[in-house]
């Protein structure tokens, strides 16, 4: 598994989530925790994000009767 550090913009692009949604899910324990890289710098392990994506429930689309 790749343990490259992903910055906020990369995480947004991979997940399709907004910055505020990522923060909210993180606070609720529903998203991987960020790593503090510096005073004003954070990132996520790519492996943590990939695992989170793989564990998302699949969306099932049902066709309604017309």
Q: Kindly report the average pLDDT of the chain as a whole number.
A: 89
Tell whether the model's pLDDT for residue 62 goes beyond 80.
no
Q: Of the candidates 14, 20, 9, which has an alpha carbon nearest to the alpha carbon of residue 48?
A: 14
Q: Of the candidates 59, 64, 56, which has an alpha carbon nearest to the alpha carbon of residue 30?
A: 56
Prediction pTM value: 0.80
Tell whether the model's pLDDT for residue 1 goes beyond 60.
no
Q: How far is 40 from 44, CA to CA, in rounded Å?
A: 14
Q: How far is 3 from 43, CA to CA, in rounded Å?
A: 11
């Amino acid at each position: 598994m790749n343990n490259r550090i992903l910055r906020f913009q990369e995480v947004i692009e991979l997940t399709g989530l907004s910055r505020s949604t990522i923060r909210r899910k993180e606070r609720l324990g529903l998203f991987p925790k960020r790593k503090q890289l510096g005073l004003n710098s954070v990132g996520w392990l790519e492996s943590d994000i990939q695992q989170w994506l793989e564990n998302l429930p699949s969306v099932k689309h049902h066709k309604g009767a017309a």
